[in-house]
Amino acid sequence: MTEHQGASTGSGATINAVDIARLAGVGRAAVSNWRKRYEDFPEPVAGTASSPLFDAEQARAWLREQGKLKELPLRDELWRALEELRSTTDPGEALITFAVGLRHFAARETKPADELDAEVLADDVSFVESVAERIAATGAEQEWLEPAVPEGRWAPLLRLLDRVLDEPEEFDALVLSWADRLGRHGGAVPSELAELMYRLAEGTRVLDPHCGLGELLRPAAEATPTGKDEPAVAGQHPDRQVARIAAASLWFRCGIVPRIEVGDALRADAFTGETFDSVLCAPPWGVKDWGFEELQFDPRWEYGLPPRRLPELAWVQHALAHLDRSGTAVLLLPAGVGFQTRGRRIRAELIRRGALRAVIALPAGAFTMLSASTPIVLWVLRSPESTTEHSDGVLLVDGSELRSGRTPDWQALSDLALSAWREFESTGECPERPGKCGVVPAIDLLDDEVNLTPARHLPVTPEIDVAGIRTSRGRFLDVLGQLPQLVPEVAPRSDPPAPSTTINELSRIGALTVRQQPGPAAKEETEGALPALTGRDVTRGSAPSGFWDDSGPREPIWLQPGDVVVPMLGGNLTSRVIGEERAVLGTHLWLLRPNPEQLDPWFLAGFLRNSANTVLTTGSMAARLDVRKVELPRIPLSEQHPYANAFKQLFLLERGLRQVQQHGGDLITTMIDGMASNALRPPEGPGNSDNTTGTVDDTHE
* Cβ–Cβ < 8 Å for 406, 377: no
What mean pLDDT comes out for the span 660-668? 88
Model confidence at 680, in pLDDT bands (50, 70, 90)?
confident
Task: Give yes or no for residue 545 having a pLDDT over 50.
Answer: yes
- Burial of residue 144 (CB within 10 Å: 0-12, 13-18, 19+) is exposed
φ, ψ at 173 (rounded to 5°):
-65, -35
| Greatest mean pLDDT range, 424-433, 443-452, 489-498 | 443-452
Distance CA 251, CA 539 (A): 52
Domains by residue range for the chain, with CATH: 14-71 (1.10.10), 80-178 (no CATH), 184-457 (3.40.50.150), 500-634 (3.90.220.20)
- Measured between alpha carbons, how far is residue 382 from residues 325, 445, 559, 575, 692 in Å? 8, 18, 59, 59, 58
Distance CA 545, CA 406 (A): 12
Instruction: Read off the pLDDT of residues 269-318 as tens digits, 9 standing for 90 and up.
Output: 999 999 999 999 999 998 999 999 999 999 999 999 999 999 999 999 99
What mean pLDDT comes out for the span 493-503? 89
What mean pLDDT comes out for the span 673-677? 83
What pLDDT shows up at residue 418?
A: 97
Q: 276 has which bridge partners?
A: 323
DSSP state of 14: E
Instruction: Read off the pLDDT of residues 342-356 as tens digits, 9 standing for 90 and up.
Output: 999 999 999 999 999
% pLDDT > 90, the chain: 56
What pLDDT shows up at residue 23?
A: 78
HSE-CB of 694 using CA atoms within 13 angstroms: 1
What pLDDT shows up at residue 5?
A: 36
What pLDDT shows up at residue 374?
A: 85
What mean pLDDT comes out for the span 622-644? 88
Task: Give yes or no for residue 6 having a pLDDT over 90.
Answer: no
226-247 exposure pattern, b = at least 16 Cβ within 10 A, e = fewer: eeeeebbbbbbbebebbbbbbb
Task: Give yes or no for residue 692 having a pLDDT over 90.
Answer: no
Residue type, 157: L
Distance CA 224, CA 206 (A): 11
Model confidence at 552, in pLDDT bands (50, 70, 90)?
low
SS3 550: coil
Q: How big, in percent rounded to 5, are the helix, strand and coil portions of the chain?
A: 40, 15, 45
Distance CA 413, CA 200 (A): 12
Task: Give yes or no for residue 8 having a pLDDT over 60.
Answer: no
Task: Give yes or no for residue 247 having a pLDDT over 50.
Answer: yes
Distance CA 244, CA 266 (A): 20
Task: Give yes or no for residue 523 having a pLDDT over 90.
Answer: no
More confident residue, 383 or 180: 383
What pLDDT shows up at residue 388?
A: 60
The angle formed by the CA atoms of residues 463, 468 and 474, to the nearest 5 degrees, is 140
SS3 245: helix
DSSP per residue, 486-526 = GS-------SPPPPEEEHHHHHHTTSEEEE-B-SPPBSS--
| Average pLDDT score over the chain | 87
Distance CA 159, CA 116 (A): 12
Distance CA 302, CA 320 (A): 9
User: Greatest CA separation found in the chain?
Assistant: 99
Model confidence at 185, in pLDDT bands (50, 70, 90)?
low
Distance CA 547, CA 532 (A): 5
SS3 564: strand
Distance CA 410, CA 362 (A): 10
Task: Give yes or no for residue 419 having a pLDDT over 90.
Answer: yes
DSSP per residue, 324-378 = EEEEEEEEEEEGGGGT-GGGHHHHHHHHHTT-EEEEEEPPTTS--SS-TTS-EEE
What pLDDT shows up at residue 620?
A: 43
What pLDDT shows up at residue 699?
A: 41
| Greatest mean pLDDT range, 221-235, 305-319, 389-403, 459-473 | 305-319
Task: Give yes or no for residue 570 having a pLDDT over 80.
Answer: no
| Greatest mean pLDDT range, 13-22, 78-87, 245-254, 682-691 | 245-254
Task: Give yes or no for residue 606 having a pLDDT over 60.
Answer: yes
% pLDDT > 70, the chain: 89
More confident residue, 701 or 30: 30
206: CB partners within 8 A, 6+ apart:
198, 216, 217, 220, 232, 233, 234, 276, 277, 278, 279, 280
What pLDDT shows up at residue 371?
A: 65
Instruction: Read off the pLDDT of residues 10-57 as tens digits, 9 standing for 90 and up.
Output: 445 567 887 788 778 788 888 989 999 999 999 998 878 887 888 878
What pLDDT shows up at residue 688?
A: 55
What pLDDT shows up at residue 4?
A: 36
What pLDDT shows up at residue 551?
A: 62
The angle formed by the CA atoms of residues 640, 643 and 648, to the nearest 5 degrees, is 120
Distance CA 446, CA 57 (A): 68
The angle formed by the CA atoms of residues 605, 609 and 610, to the nearest 5 degrees, is 125
